[in-house]
Amino acid sequence: MSLNSIKTIHKCFNSYQSLNGFTKNLNKYSSILNHRKMSDNVNKHYELNSRYAKVGDKNVWVEFTALARDYNAVNLGQGFPDYDSVKYLNEKALEVSKESNNLMHQYTRSPGHLRLANAIAKCYGSFLNREINPQNEVLVTVGAYGSLFNALSSFVSDGDEVIIIEPFYDCYAPMSAIAGAKCVFVPLRPKTENEVTTSADWVWDEKELESAFSSKTKLIVVNTPNNPLGKIYSREELQKIADLCIKHNTLCISDEVYEHITYDRAHTRIATLPGMWERTITVGSAGKAFSSTGAKLGWTIGPKELIRLCQIVHNNSIYCCPTFIQEVIARCFELEIARLGHDESYFKSISAELKPKRDRLAKLLIDAGLKPVIPEGGYFMLADISTIAKNFKTDETDFKDSKFVKYLIKEKGLATIPNTAFYSDEHKHVGENFIRFCFFKNETTLEKAAEILKNLHVD
Protein backbone atom coordinates (compact mmCIF):
# COMPACT_ATOMS: atom_id res chain seq x y z
CA MET A 1 0.00 0.00 0.00
CA SER A 2 1.38 3.36 -1.01
CA LEU A 3 2.11 6.15 1.45
CA ASN A 4 -0.64 8.31 -0.10
CA SER A 5 -3.18 5.54 0.41
CA ILE A 6 -2.21 5.24 4.06
CA LYS A 7 -2.60 9.02 4.50
CA THR A 8 -6.01 8.93 2.84
CA ILE A 9 -7.20 6.12 5.12
CA HIS A 10 -5.87 7.94 8.19
CA LYS A 11 -7.64 11.14 7.11
CA CYS A 12 -10.91 9.29 6.62
CA PHE A 13 -10.55 7.62 10.03
CA ASN A 14 -9.98 10.99 11.71
CA SER A 15 -12.98 12.41 9.91
CA TYR A 16 -15.06 9.50 11.11
CA GLN A 17 -13.88 10.01 14.69
CA SER A 18 -14.68 13.73 14.48
CA LEU A 19 -18.10 13.01 13.04
CA ASN A 20 -18.74 10.38 15.68
CA GLY A 21 -17.66 12.81 18.42
CA PHE A 22 -19.82 15.53 16.93
CA THR A 23 -22.77 13.16 16.87
CA LYS A 24 -22.20 12.23 20.49
CA ASN A 25 -21.95 15.88 21.49
CA LEU A 26 -25.04 16.70 19.46
CA ASN A 27 -26.96 13.97 21.26
CA LYS A 28 -25.63 15.25 24.58
CA TYR A 29 -26.67 18.85 23.90
CA SER A 30 -30.03 17.74 22.52
CA SER A 31 -30.63 15.83 25.74
CA ILE A 32 -29.76 18.93 27.80
CA LEU A 33 -32.06 21.11 25.70
CA ASN A 34 -34.89 18.60 25.99
CA HIS A 35 -34.37 18.42 29.77
CA ARG A 36 -34.44 22.21 30.03
CA LYS A 37 -37.58 22.33 27.91
CA MET A 38 -39.24 19.75 30.15
CA SER A 39 -38.15 21.68 33.27
CA ASP A 40 -39.53 24.91 31.82
CA ASN A 41 -42.83 23.19 31.08
CA VAL A 42 -42.96 21.72 34.59
CA ASN A 43 -42.08 25.06 36.20
CA LYS A 44 -44.69 26.81 34.10
CA HIS A 45 -47.28 24.20 35.00
CA TYR A 46 -46.51 24.47 38.70
CA GLU A 47 -46.35 28.21 39.12
CA LEU A 48 -47.21 29.69 42.51
CA ASN A 49 -50.92 30.09 43.12
CA SER A 50 -51.96 33.46 41.71
CA ARG A 51 -53.38 34.63 45.06
CA TYR A 52 -49.97 34.20 46.68
CA ALA A 53 -48.00 35.36 43.66
CA LYS A 54 -49.56 38.81 43.85
CA VAL A 55 -48.24 39.39 47.39
CA GLY A 56 -44.66 38.49 46.41
CA ASP A 57 -41.95 36.67 48.31
CA LYS A 58 -40.31 39.62 50.07
CA ASN A 59 -40.52 39.39 53.85
CA VAL A 60 -39.01 41.96 56.19
CA TRP A 61 -38.38 39.41 58.97
CA VAL A 62 -36.57 36.97 56.71
CA GLU A 63 -34.44 39.72 55.15
CA PHE A 64 -33.37 41.64 58.23
CA THR A 65 -33.09 38.66 60.59
CA ALA A 66 -30.64 37.07 58.16
CA LEU A 67 -28.74 40.35 57.85
CA ALA A 68 -28.48 40.71 61.63
CA ARG A 69 -27.21 37.14 61.91
CA ASP A 70 -24.69 37.53 59.09
CA TYR A 71 -23.16 40.61 60.74
CA ASN A 72 -23.54 39.34 64.32
CA ALA A 73 -25.39 42.54 65.18
CA VAL A 74 -26.89 43.48 68.54
CA ASN A 75 -30.50 42.58 67.82
CA LEU A 76 -33.12 45.19 68.72
CA GLY A 77 -35.03 44.21 65.61
CA GLN A 78 -37.04 41.08 66.31
CA GLY A 79 -39.78 41.33 68.91
CA PHE A 80 -39.01 38.80 71.59
CA PRO A 81 -37.21 38.74 74.95
CA ASP A 82 -33.70 37.28 75.07
CA TYR A 83 -34.10 36.19 78.71
CA ASP A 84 -36.59 34.22 80.83
CA SER A 85 -39.22 36.80 81.65
CA VAL A 86 -41.90 34.34 82.80
CA LYS A 87 -40.31 32.38 85.63
CA TYR A 88 -42.97 29.66 85.81
CA LEU A 89 -43.12 28.83 82.08
CA ASN A 90 -40.30 26.28 82.17
CA GLU A 91 -41.63 24.90 85.45
CA LYS A 92 -45.01 24.18 83.87
CA ALA A 93 -43.40 22.58 80.81
CA LEU A 94 -41.29 20.35 83.07
CA GLU A 95 -44.33 19.54 85.18
CA VAL A 96 -46.27 18.32 82.13
CA SER A 97 -43.35 16.31 80.76
CA LYS A 98 -42.71 14.55 84.09
CA GLU A 99 -46.29 13.29 84.28
CA SER A 100 -45.60 10.95 81.34
CA ASN A 101 -49.17 11.21 80.10
CA ASN A 102 -49.28 9.68 76.62
CA LEU A 103 -52.31 11.79 75.70
CA MET A 104 -50.10 14.90 75.81
CA HIS A 105 -48.37 13.53 72.70
CA GLN A 106 -51.55 12.74 70.75
CA TYR A 107 -54.20 14.73 68.87
CA THR A 108 -56.54 16.88 70.92
CA ARG A 109 -59.87 18.47 69.96
CA SER A 110 -59.66 20.63 66.85
CA PRO A 111 -60.91 23.96 68.30
CA GLY A 112 -58.52 23.66 71.23
CA HIS A 113 -57.37 21.42 74.06
CA LEU A 114 -60.30 21.61 76.46
CA ARG A 115 -58.24 22.56 79.52
CA LEU A 116 -56.82 25.53 77.61
CA ALA A 117 -60.18 26.52 76.11
CA ASN A 118 -61.70 26.50 79.60
CA ALA A 119 -58.87 28.65 80.97
CA ILE A 120 -59.10 31.15 78.10
CA ALA A 121 -62.88 31.37 78.51
CA LYS A 122 -62.59 32.01 82.24
CA CYS A 123 -59.80 34.58 81.89
CA TYR A 124 -61.36 36.53 79.03
CA GLY A 125 -64.78 36.29 80.60
CA SER A 126 -63.28 38.49 83.31
CA PHE A 127 -61.68 40.84 80.77
CA LEU A 128 -64.80 41.18 78.60
CA ASN A 129 -67.34 41.22 81.44
CA ARG A 130 -69.36 38.37 79.98
CA GLU A 131 -69.56 34.60 80.15
CA ILE A 132 -67.51 32.96 77.39
CA ASN A 133 -68.50 29.47 76.26
CA PRO A 134 -65.29 27.41 75.90
CA GLN A 135 -67.03 24.95 73.59
CA ASN A 136 -67.99 27.33 70.81
CA GLU A 137 -66.69 30.85 71.53
CA VAL A 138 -62.97 30.02 71.73
CA LEU A 139 -60.72 28.74 68.94
CA VAL A 140 -57.06 27.88 69.64
CA THR A 141 -54.79 28.53 66.67
CA VAL A 142 -51.18 28.42 65.52
CA GLY A 143 -50.23 31.80 66.92
CA ALA A 144 -52.05 35.06 66.33
CA TYR A 145 -51.08 34.52 62.68
CA GLY A 146 -53.40 31.52 62.62
CA SER A 147 -56.24 33.51 64.16
CA LEU A 148 -55.84 36.30 61.62
CA PHE A 149 -55.56 33.90 58.70
CA ASN A 150 -58.65 31.92 59.76
CA ALA A 151 -60.74 35.06 60.22
CA LEU A 152 -59.72 36.76 56.98
CA SER A 153 -60.06 33.54 54.98
CA SER A 154 -63.49 32.74 56.40
CA PHE A 155 -65.10 36.18 56.19
CA VAL A 156 -63.61 37.75 53.07
CA SER A 157 -64.62 36.97 49.48
CA ASP A 158 -63.42 38.26 46.13
CA GLY A 159 -64.27 41.93 45.72
CA ASP A 160 -64.74 42.65 49.43
CA GLU A 161 -62.83 45.50 51.04
CA VAL A 162 -60.79 45.33 54.23
CA ILE A 163 -59.87 48.53 56.09
CA ILE A 164 -56.39 48.52 57.64
CA ILE A 165 -55.12 51.34 59.86
CA GLU A 166 -51.46 52.21 59.33
CA PRO A 167 -48.88 51.48 60.56
CA PHE A 168 -49.99 47.85 60.69
CA TYR A 169 -48.44 44.48 61.42
CA ASP A 170 -47.14 43.39 58.06
CA CYS A 171 -49.22 40.21 57.59
CA TYR A 172 -52.61 41.97 57.54
CA ALA A 173 -52.40 43.18 53.95
CA PRO A 174 -51.07 40.01 52.26
CA MET A 175 -53.51 37.80 54.16
CA SER A 176 -56.39 40.05 53.08
CA ALA A 177 -55.19 40.05 49.47
CA ILE A 178 -54.81 36.26 49.45
CA ALA A 179 -58.42 36.01 50.62
CA GLY A 180 -59.44 38.12 47.62
CA ALA A 181 -59.95 41.48 49.30
CA LYS A 182 -59.02 44.95 48.24
CA CYS A 183 -57.21 46.67 51.11
CA VAL A 184 -58.22 50.22 52.00
CA PHE A 185 -55.57 51.95 54.10
CA VAL A 186 -56.10 54.73 56.64
CA PRO A 187 -52.83 56.16 57.98
CA LEU A 188 -52.20 57.56 61.43
CA ARG A 189 -50.13 60.75 61.28
CA PRO A 190 -48.34 62.67 64.04
CA LYS A 191 -50.24 65.82 64.95
CA THR A 192 -47.10 67.45 66.32
CA GLU A 193 -43.46 67.68 65.29
CA ASN A 194 -42.00 68.20 68.74
CA GLU A 195 -38.61 66.74 69.60
CA VAL A 196 -40.25 63.97 71.63
CA THR A 197 -43.74 62.72 70.86
CA THR A 198 -45.88 59.87 72.15
CA SER A 199 -47.90 57.31 70.27
CA ALA A 200 -51.04 59.17 71.41
CA ASP A 201 -49.96 62.03 69.14
CA TRP A 202 -50.57 59.83 66.09
CA VAL A 203 -54.17 60.13 64.92
CA TRP A 204 -56.30 59.50 61.87
CA ASP A 205 -58.18 62.07 59.84
CA GLU A 206 -61.84 61.47 60.72
CA LYS A 207 -63.08 62.22 57.22
CA GLU A 208 -60.47 59.88 55.79
CA LEU A 209 -61.60 57.11 58.15
CA GLU A 210 -65.27 57.67 57.39
CA SER A 211 -64.71 57.67 53.64
CA ALA A 212 -62.86 54.34 53.87
CA PHE A 213 -66.15 52.61 54.70
CA SER A 214 -68.43 51.66 51.82
CA SER A 215 -71.01 49.08 50.80
CA LYS A 216 -68.09 46.77 49.89
CA THR A 217 -66.44 46.94 53.32
CA LYS A 218 -66.46 43.50 54.95
CA LEU A 219 -64.26 44.19 57.96
CA ILE A 220 -61.74 46.46 59.63
CA VAL A 221 -58.55 45.28 61.36
CA VAL A 222 -57.72 47.14 64.58
CA ASN A 223 -54.44 46.59 66.44
CA THR A 224 -54.30 47.97 69.97
CA PRO A 225 -51.77 48.32 71.50
CA ASN A 226 -50.29 48.85 68.08
CA ASN A 227 -47.18 47.26 66.62
CA PRO A 228 -44.94 49.08 65.69
CA LEU A 229 -46.23 52.39 67.07
CA GLY A 230 -47.27 51.40 70.58
CA LYS A 231 -50.50 53.40 70.32
CA ILE A 232 -53.34 52.39 72.62
CA TYR A 233 -56.62 53.56 71.13
CA SER A 234 -58.69 55.63 73.51
CA ARG A 235 -62.25 54.64 74.29
CA GLU A 236 -63.40 57.58 72.15
CA GLU A 237 -61.34 56.41 69.18
CA LEU A 238 -62.65 52.87 69.50
CA GLN A 239 -66.19 54.20 69.81
CA LYS A 240 -65.71 56.01 66.49
CA ILE A 241 -64.70 52.73 64.86
CA ALA A 242 -67.60 50.94 66.55
CA ASP A 243 -70.13 53.50 65.32
CA LEU A 244 -68.87 53.09 61.74
CA CYS A 245 -68.90 49.29 62.00
CA ILE A 246 -72.50 49.30 63.19
CA LYS A 247 -73.56 51.87 60.59
CA HIS A 248 -72.03 49.89 57.72
CA ASN A 249 -72.68 46.40 59.15
CA THR A 250 -68.95 45.72 59.24
CA LEU A 251 -67.02 43.08 61.17
CA CYS A 252 -64.00 43.94 63.32
CA ILE A 253 -60.85 41.90 63.88
CA SER A 254 -59.29 43.26 67.06
CA ASP A 255 -55.65 42.21 67.35
CA GLU A 256 -54.94 42.68 71.07
CA VAL A 257 -51.83 40.54 71.52
CA TYR A 258 -50.06 43.29 73.53
CA GLU A 259 -53.11 43.70 75.79
CA HIS A 260 -51.17 43.32 79.07
CA ILE A 261 -48.28 45.65 78.20
CA THR A 262 -49.55 49.14 78.93
CA TYR A 263 -47.85 52.17 80.46
CA ASP A 264 -49.70 55.46 80.15
CA ARG A 265 -53.24 54.46 79.20
CA ALA A 266 -55.53 51.56 80.10
CA HIS A 267 -56.35 49.07 77.37
CA THR A 268 -59.98 49.19 76.21
CA ARG A 269 -61.44 46.15 74.44
CA ILE A 270 -63.64 47.10 71.52
CA ALA A 271 -65.78 43.97 72.01
CA THR A 272 -67.03 45.50 75.29
CA LEU A 273 -68.59 48.50 73.53
CA PRO A 274 -72.35 48.40 72.88
CA GLY A 275 -73.23 46.44 69.75
CA MET A 276 -69.67 45.19 69.15
CA TRP A 277 -69.47 41.74 70.76
CA GLU A 278 -71.60 40.19 68.02
CA ARG A 279 -69.39 41.61 65.25
CA THR A 280 -65.90 41.36 66.80
CA ILE A 281 -63.20 38.71 66.63
CA THR A 282 -60.64 39.23 69.41
CA VAL A 283 -57.15 37.83 68.81
CA GLY A 284 -54.72 36.87 71.58
CA SER A 285 -51.30 35.23 71.73
CA ALA A 286 -49.27 33.09 74.13
CA GLY A 287 -46.17 34.58 72.54
CA LYS A 288 -47.08 37.97 74.00
CA ALA A 289 -49.16 36.98 77.04
CA PHE A 290 -46.45 34.66 78.37
CA SER A 291 -43.44 36.00 76.44
CA SER A 292 -43.04 32.70 74.60
CA THR A 293 -43.08 33.48 70.89
CA GLY A 294 -41.74 30.01 70.08
CA ALA A 295 -44.91 28.43 71.45
CA LYS A 296 -46.72 29.66 68.32
CA LEU A 297 -50.06 29.47 70.08
CA GLY A 298 -52.87 31.97 69.69
CA TRP A 299 -56.60 32.16 70.23
CA THR A 300 -59.70 33.64 68.71
CA ILE A 301 -62.60 34.75 70.89
CA GLY A 302 -66.00 35.82 69.64
CA PRO A 303 -69.67 34.91 69.17
CA LYS A 304 -70.28 31.29 68.22
CA GLU A 305 -71.62 32.23 64.76
CA LEU A 306 -68.28 33.85 63.82
CA ILE A 307 -66.11 31.26 65.58
CA ARG A 308 -67.90 28.48 63.67
CA LEU A 309 -66.83 30.03 60.36
CA CYS A 310 -63.24 30.47 61.54
CA GLN A 311 -63.20 26.85 62.66
CA ILE A 312 -64.15 25.62 59.19
CA VAL A 313 -60.94 27.14 57.82
CA HIS A 314 -58.99 25.85 60.83
CA ASN A 315 -60.33 22.30 60.46
CA ASN A 316 -59.37 22.17 56.80
CA SER A 317 -55.88 23.59 57.17
CA ILE A 318 -54.28 23.03 60.59
CA TYR A 319 -56.95 20.84 62.25
CA CYS A 320 -55.44 21.12 65.73
CA CYS A 321 -52.47 22.64 67.57
CA PRO A 322 -49.85 20.65 69.52
CA THR A 323 -51.40 19.16 72.64
CA PHE A 324 -48.32 19.39 74.85
CA ILE A 325 -47.80 23.14 74.51
CA GLN A 326 -51.56 23.74 74.89
CA GLU A 327 -51.46 21.89 78.21
CA VAL A 328 -48.47 23.98 79.33
CA ILE A 329 -50.14 27.27 78.42
CA ALA A 330 -53.39 26.12 80.06
CA ARG A 331 -51.55 25.68 83.35
CA CYS A 332 -49.91 29.08 82.94
CA PHE A 333 -53.35 30.62 82.44
CA GLU A 334 -54.70 28.87 85.54
CA LEU A 335 -51.87 30.33 87.58
CA GLU A 336 -52.60 33.81 86.23
CA ILE A 337 -56.34 33.50 86.82
CA ALA A 338 -55.64 32.90 90.51
CA ARG A 339 -53.41 36.01 90.56
CA LEU A 340 -55.50 38.41 88.46
CA GLY A 341 -55.28 41.95 89.80
CA HIS A 342 -52.46 41.12 92.21
CA ASP A 343 -48.89 42.39 91.95
CA GLU A 344 -47.49 38.88 91.45
CA SER A 345 -49.60 38.42 88.29
CA TYR A 346 -47.38 38.44 85.21
CA PHE A 347 -50.17 40.15 83.30
CA LYS A 348 -49.70 43.06 85.72
CA SER A 349 -45.96 42.93 86.43
CA ILE A 350 -44.85 42.82 82.78
CA SER A 351 -45.58 46.53 82.32
CA ALA A 352 -43.58 47.46 85.41
CA GLU A 353 -40.74 45.27 84.14
CA LEU A 354 -40.64 46.92 80.72
CA LYS A 355 -41.31 50.58 81.55
CA PRO A 356 -37.73 51.26 82.79
CA LYS A 357 -36.38 49.63 79.62
CA ARG A 358 -38.65 51.85 77.54
CA ASP A 359 -37.54 55.00 79.33
CA ARG A 360 -33.88 54.03 79.12
CA LEU A 361 -34.04 53.43 75.37
CA ALA A 362 -35.85 56.76 74.86
CA LYS A 363 -33.02 58.62 76.61
CA LEU A 364 -30.37 56.76 74.62
CA LEU A 365 -32.10 57.66 71.36
CA ILE A 366 -32.38 61.33 72.31
CA ASP A 367 -28.71 61.45 73.26
CA ALA A 368 -27.83 59.83 69.91
CA GLY A 369 -29.66 62.53 67.95
CA LEU A 370 -32.83 60.59 67.19
CA LYS A 371 -36.36 61.58 68.18
CA PRO A 372 -38.24 58.74 69.90
CA VAL A 373 -41.98 58.21 69.78
CA ILE A 374 -42.76 57.12 73.34
CA PRO A 375 -45.12 54.10 73.17
CA GLU A 376 -48.17 53.84 75.42
CA GLY A 377 -48.06 50.05 75.16
CA GLY A 378 -46.18 47.10 73.70
CA TYR A 379 -42.40 46.74 73.63
CA PHE A 380 -41.43 48.61 70.49
CA MET A 381 -40.36 52.19 69.99
CA LEU A 382 -40.23 54.18 66.77
CA ALA A 383 -37.48 56.76 66.35
CA ASP A 384 -37.36 59.64 63.87
CA ILE A 385 -34.09 59.43 61.92
CA SER A 386 -34.66 62.44 59.66
CA THR A 387 -31.98 64.57 61.36
CA ILE A 388 -29.24 62.00 61.70
CA ALA A 389 -29.84 60.22 58.38
CA LYS A 390 -29.85 63.23 56.05
CA ASN A 391 -27.52 61.51 53.60
CA PHE A 392 -29.92 58.61 53.07
CA LYS A 393 -32.50 59.17 50.34
CA THR A 394 -35.40 57.13 49.05
CA ASP A 395 -34.93 56.11 45.42
CA GLU A 396 -36.09 53.40 43.02
CA THR A 397 -33.85 50.81 44.71
CA ASP A 398 -34.90 51.21 48.35
CA PHE A 399 -36.51 53.41 50.98
CA LYS A 400 -34.61 55.78 53.22
CA ASP A 401 -35.33 53.90 56.46
CA SER A 402 -34.38 50.57 54.92
CA LYS A 403 -31.04 51.96 53.73
CA PHE A 404 -30.34 53.39 57.17
CA VAL A 405 -31.19 50.12 58.92
CA LYS A 406 -28.84 48.22 56.61
CA TYR A 407 -26.15 50.79 57.38
CA LEU A 408 -26.68 50.34 61.13
CA ILE A 409 -26.41 46.57 60.82
CA LYS A 410 -23.40 46.44 58.51
CA GLU A 411 -21.38 49.40 59.77
CA LYS A 412 -22.43 49.80 63.41
CA GLY A 413 -23.52 46.29 64.39
CA LEU A 414 -27.01 47.27 65.56
CA ALA A 415 -30.14 45.64 64.12
CA THR A 416 -33.50 47.42 63.93
CA ILE A 417 -36.49 47.24 61.55
CA PRO A 418 -37.45 49.80 58.86
CA ASN A 419 -40.84 51.38 59.53
CA THR A 420 -41.93 51.30 55.87
CA ALA A 421 -42.44 47.53 56.33
CA PHE A 422 -45.61 48.47 58.22
CA TYR A 423 -47.12 50.67 55.49
CA SER A 424 -48.84 50.23 52.15
CA ASP A 425 -47.01 51.40 49.03
CA GLU A 426 -49.21 54.49 48.85
CA HIS A 427 -48.33 55.62 52.37
CA LYS A 428 -44.72 54.48 52.83
CA HIS A 429 -43.69 58.13 52.64
CA VAL A 430 -45.52 58.67 55.96
CA GLY A 431 -43.26 56.18 57.72
CA GLU A 432 -39.94 56.41 55.90
CA ASN A 433 -38.34 58.74 58.47
CA PHE A 434 -38.72 56.21 61.28
CA ILE A 435 -37.18 52.92 62.35
CA ARG A 436 -38.39 50.43 64.99
CA PHE A 437 -36.50 49.31 68.09
CA CYS A 438 -37.46 46.44 70.43
CA PHE A 439 -36.56 47.08 74.07
CA PHE A 440 -37.68 43.72 75.54
CA LYS A 441 -34.03 42.66 75.94
CA ASN A 442 -31.74 41.78 78.81
CA GLU A 443 -29.41 44.32 80.39
CA THR A 444 -26.35 43.01 78.54
CA THR A 445 -28.04 43.47 75.16
CA LEU A 446 -29.31 46.93 76.06
CA GLU A 447 -25.88 47.93 77.34
CA LYS A 448 -24.26 46.84 74.07
CA ALA A 449 -26.88 48.83 72.16
CA ALA A 450 -26.22 51.81 74.43
CA GLU A 451 -22.51 51.78 73.57
CA ILE A 452 -23.30 51.73 69.85
CA LEU A 453 -25.83 54.55 70.16
CA LYS A 454 -23.44 56.68 72.24
CA ASN A 455 -20.95 56.50 69.40
CA LEU A 456 -23.44 56.83 66.57
CA HIS A 457 -21.82 59.22 64.13
CA VAL A 458 -23.23 58.68 60.67
CA ASP A 459 -20.58 58.99 57.97
Instruction: Write the DSSP string, 38-94.
Output: HHHHHHHHTPPPHHHHTT-S--HHHHHHHHHHHTT-EE-SSSS-SS---TTHHHHHH
Cβ(117)–Cβ(323) below 8 Å: no
Give the residue among 140, 143, 88 at the shortest CA–CA distance from 115: 140
pLDDT tens digits, residue range 264-314? 899 999 999 999 999 999 999 999 999 999 999 999 999 999 999 999 999
pLDDT in tens, 348-388: 999 999 999 999 999 999 999 899 999 999 999 999 999 88
Question: 89-339 belongs to which CATH class?
Answer: alpha beta
In the chain, domain spans: 51-84+345-454, 89-339
Strand partners, 217: 161
Largest CA distance in the chain: 114
Question: What integer pLDDT is reported at residue 16 of this predicted model?
Answer: 47
What is the per-residue pLDDT across 66-76, written as a single tens digit (0 to 9) for each?
A: 999 999 999 99
CB proximity list for 408: less than 8 A, separation 6 or greater: 73, 414, 415, 416, 435
Residue that wins the pLDDT comparison between 53 and 447: 447
Q: Where are the alpha helices (DSSP H) in 139-256?
A: 143-155, 172-178, 206-212, 235-247
CA distance 131 to 272: 12
- Is the pLDDT at 50 greater than 90? The verdict is no
Residues β-bridged to residue 222: 254
| Domain spanning 51-84+345-454, CATH class | alpha beta
Using DSSP, state whether 130 is helix, strand or coil: coil
- Please check the confidence at residue 36 and state whether its pLDDT lies above 80: no
pLDDT at residue number 406: 95
Walk across the sheet containing 371-374 and list its strands. 197-198, 371-374, 380-384, 434-438, 417-418
User: Where is pLDDT greater, at 187 or 457?
Assistant: 187
Give the residue among 178, 171, 173 at the shortest CA–CA distance from 145: 171
- 362 touches 377 (CB < 8 A): no
